[in-house]
Amino acid sequence: MKRFLITLFGSFFYTGFFPIAPATFACMVWLLVWLFVPGGGYLTHPLALVVTVPFAIWFAFVMEGYYGKDASKIVIDEVVGMQVTLFMIQPDWKVGVAGFFLFRFFDIAKPFPVGRAERLRGGYGVVIDDFLAGIYSFIALYLLMRFTSLI
């Protein structure tokens, strides 16, 4: 039962088992959750991160024991990155899609210190690099929203 629950959450409800680009698929599913599940206001965003990050680190740590180091099945870190990207932003499909593409870009490109964070041991390296990619994405998304008419 323990392994089932850890895998359920660590793979973000088994989206990590998607055969093609599971991290991207998990981000798309999270985007749909963000768009269509009421967020409950500004208090829930910080609270969700405070709860999600430590659990994500633990799930990633344990799942590495099951599936190997930073296995593609571990996608809870992508959810954390998307949470950071869309932090305190009211749901809007254009903003969400822009945030999705920005996050995937920074997660794959791994600018400093994202790539370095990935070298941290255990669940920390799995989650913190996506958290940092989410910060880059959030800043880029904010600048796009603030200074352009693109979104």
CB 99 within 8 A of CB 82: yes
Six-digit token string for 74:
């571990």
Would you state the torsion angle of the CA atoms of residues 94, 23, 115, 46, taken in this order, to the nearest 10 degrees?
60
| Tokens 């979104």 sit on residue | 151
What gap in Å lies between CA 78 and CA 4, rounded to an integer? 20
Q: What is the pLDDT along the chain (151 residues), one digit of tens a residue?
A: 899 999 999 999 999 999 999 999 999 999 999 998 876 666 678 888 999 999 999 999 999 999 988 789 999 999 999 999 999 888 899 999 999 999 999 999 999 998 888 788 889 999 999 999 999 999 999 999 999 887 7
State the first-to-last Cα distance of the chain, in angstroms, to the nearest integer. Answer: 44
Predicted structure pTM score: 0.92
